[in-house]
Amino acid sequence: MTTAAPTAFQRFFDSDLWFGFRTSPVAIGAASVALVLIVGALFAPWLAPHQPFDLATLSLMDSLLPPVWVGEGRFEYFLGTDDQGRDVLSTILYGSRISLLVGLASVALAMVLGVGLGLLSGYVGGRLDAFIMRVADVQLSFPAILIALLIDGSARALLPRDAHSDWLAIGVLVGSIGLANWVQYARTVRGSTLVEQSKEYVQAARVIGVKPWRIMMRHVLPNVLGPVLVIGTINVAQAIITEATLSFLGVGVPPTSPSLGTMINNGNNFLYSGEWWLVVFPGLALVLLCMSVNLLGDWLRDALNPKLR
């Protein structure tokens, strides 16, 4: 019992992956930035100086204050306030939560869907394969944001009128971004499955009468997961940007609980009147978040690629 945990850790610290990470300054830098942002988002209720989603604490009289180092800026609102009197720093922390939640959840959805369909398609083959791949082809010919907009719009129209809450809005967002992004996973997994299933271990399993379902899940799946993880990491950043775009276009989360995209959209209206902090800081947070996750994804791709070692 007590020896099991150290061994697992030991194995990890001895692995090539950890060594590769330790010796790559870019990976360490990106991981630290991502960690800071993620921790900030996760612990927002304890870290943030204000509660921007609690409308009762907002005061219009504190609206549009500049950051602390400019003119009438106040220390309690370090990065200034927006037009509703929300503290920009706190809103970024809370808003990143929504962005991260939507990013991770929609990638998880796309991954489950894409891996499942890809496995099925590659393993079963024939008409089912042709059908799934044609659907994927059709979907690939549209930009993901258009598909997300379409799904989002129809979901909102179909849902009952009084079903309206923040969580539902987030659910719809996750669903539409997830459904718009499954194709990549499905294609990758289908390709790897086709390769794997002609290998001896799969044929051996077939010969001894293992059920197809079990072969897919126990034997093929673990061997095709590597590239999927890489795509997943890179897609998190993409999903966060898609959410920001949808919110920027005004179909995302409700205005009373802004995500990073909503904040940038709102700040955009004040670009000409000089309130630059409304768009610069959330924009910076979005760039840092996406860039660090992307760099980590890039590094992971290289680290898992035996040809590059």
Partner 1 sequence: MMHKKQSMLRKGALAFALTIALTGVAGAKTFRIADQGDALSMDPHSLNESLQLSFTGNIYEPLVARDKQLKLVPGLATKWQQLNPTTWRFDLRKGVQFHDGTPFTADDVVFTFGRAAGDGSDMKSYTNTISAVKKIDSHTIEIVTLAPFPILPDVISLVYIMSKKWAEENKAERPVDKRKGVENAASFKANGTGPFRLRSRDPGVRTVLVRNLNYWDKVETNVEEVVFTPIGNDATRVAALISGEIDMMQPVPVQDVARLSQNTNLNIMQGPELRTIFLGMDQARDELLFSSVKGKNPFKDKRVRQAFYQSIDVEAIKSRIMRGAATPTALMVAPGIKGFDLALNKRMPYDVEAAKKLLADAGYGSGFELKMNCPNDRYVNDGEICQAVAGMLARIGVKVTLEAETKGTYFPKILSRNTSFYLLGWTPGTYDSHNPLNALMATPGASGQGQFNLGSYSNAKLDELTAKIASETDDAKRNAMISEAFKIHHDDVGHLPLHQQALAWGMRKNVSLVQLPDNFNQFKWVTVK
Which residues make up the interface to partner 1 (CB under 8 A)? Answer: 54-56, 58, 60-61, 63-64, 83-85, 161-162, 164-165, 250, 254-256, 268-275
Decide whether 32 or 268 has the Cβ nearer to partner 1.
Answer: 268
The Cα 119–Cα 125 span in angstroms is: 10
Question: DSSP 3-state assignment of 81?
Answer: strand
Q: Which is nearer to partner 1, 52 or 103 (CB)?
A: 52
Give the nearest distance from C-beta 55 to partner 1 in angstroms. Answer: 4
Q: How far is the CB of 278 from partner 1 (least distance, A)?
A: 10
**DSSP-assigned letter for residue 220:** I
Q: 182 vs 277, which CB is nearer to partner 1?
A: 277
- Alpha helix positions (H), the chain: 4-14, 16-22, 25-42, 44-47, 88-124, 126-140, 144-158, 166-180, 182-197, 200-207, 212-214, 221-248, 260-268, 277-304
The owner of tokens 């129209």 is 157
Smallest gap from residue 264 Cβ to partner 1 (A): 11
- Nearest residue (CB) to partner 1, 85 versus 122: 85
Question: Of the two residues 125 and 254, which places its CB atom closer to partner 1 in the complex?
Answer: 254
- Minimum Å gap between C-beta 262 and partner 1 is 11
Closer residue to partner 1, CB minimum distance, 243 or 275:
275
Q: Closest Cα to residue 243, out of 142, 42, 104?
A: 104
Query: Measured from the CB atom, is 82 or 196 closer to partner 1?
Result: 82
Q: Would you state the structure tokens that stand for residue 131, as one six-digit string?
A: 């059908």
> Nearest distance from residue 58's CB to partner 1, in Å?
4
User: What are the residues whose beta carbons fall under 8 Å from the beta carbon of 262, sequence distance 6 or more?
Assistant: 95, 247, 248, 252, 253, 255
Kindly list the distances between the CA atom of residue 168 and the CA atoms of 95, 132, 240, 252, in Å, as whole numbers in the listed order. 17, 29, 18, 11
Q: Is 71 left (phi over 0), alpha (psi -120 to 50) or beta?
A: left
Cβ of residue 277: shortest distance to partner 1, in angstroms? 14
Shortest distance (Å) from residue 280 CB to partner 1:
14
